[in-house]
Amino acid sequence: MPSLAVRLGLLRLESPLVLASGILGVSASSLALVASRGAGAVTTKSCGLDPRAGHPGPTVLPVTEGLLNAVGLSNPGADAMCEEIREFKSRCPTTLLFASLFGRTVEEFGEVAAHLAAAEPDLLEVNVSCPNVSSELGLPFEAKSKELAAITALVKKKAGDIPVALKLSINWGPIGEQARICAENGADLITAINTVGPGMLIDTNVMRPVLSNQVGGLSGPCILPLAVRAIWEVRRSVDLPIIGLGGVASSEDALQLIMAGATAVGIGTAVYHQGLDLFERVNQGLLRFLAEKGLEDLSEVCGAAHG
């Protein structure tokens, strides 16, 4: 029988599917629920050093084939997240846990990384690309090459033996070049892509933006072609494993990201629209594909679109 197990460097996932950061990622119980539905790994919501309320509502707006969100990096803070990480690992020892983090300064990224590393997640995912907090925190660090390099090196130092992935977007420059900066400064993996934008929708009745933050990041099936192209560029630019995400809502979508160069595939917005059973449906679709093609595992098609 074909196998869905994949390797992200030294990490082995029983399924290539990863719960993306931002969906059901605050508590151990919600993460465990996702794990029970067939995810190979789950990612916490992006966590800062201190608790953060995020933006006032409305913060999430369904749009055609996706979501526009300006949640604003709300989170319980690093200490509380460490407790949830430890509880999840005790409850779900066979599912990997990735801890997402952000900081307001280069130095704070290192502080948050050190806090979370103490809880021993399986990977640290560094969110340097959130598009909907620039009015408060300034341009994302992804847009600044020197800061991106410094954050990568500092988090890698603070992480110890824990692998580090940098989460990039297509919003702030050539993603292939950004991936090279991360690779040159110690990144073990690349996660791509973050939400696209920021974007805006206007309520024509009141003639004002719908979101309280005015703008938000766009996610969902509408950005799939952008994700495929970005992962293609990252694969051409660096020799690092890629966690691909952006618009995945079916096994066909997942295969496109894998063939563009992703080893694992994140699912986020589609859970909002289709529910947690989506993980099992995508897993079964991937198994059918492998069986029909006479393939043993997904490594045989990873990056296949590059020829």
Structural element, H or E, at residue 205:
none
Q: Is 47 a catalytic residue?
A: no
Q: What is the distance between the alpha carbons of residues 113 and 30, in angstroms, rounded to a whole number?
A: 22
CB 10: neighbour CB atoms within 10 A? Answer: 9
Which of 47, 130, 182, 302 does the annotation list as catalytic? 130
Distance in angstroms (rounded) separating the CA atoms of residues 1 and 283? 14
Taking alpha carbons only, the member of 157, 178, 165, 168 closest to residue 124 is 165
pLDDT tens digits, one per residue of 68-127 = 999 988 999 999 999 999 999 999 999 999 999 999 999 999 999 999 999 999 999 999
Please write the tens of the pLDDT for every residue from 14-61.
Answer: 999 999 998 899 999 999 999 999 999 999 999 999 999 888 889 999
Is the CA virtual torsion 49, 50, 53, 54 positive or negative?
negative
8 close to 163: Cβ distance less than 8 angstroms? yes
Within 8 A by CB and 6+ apart from 208, the residues are 202
Is 0.85 topped by the overall pTM?
yes
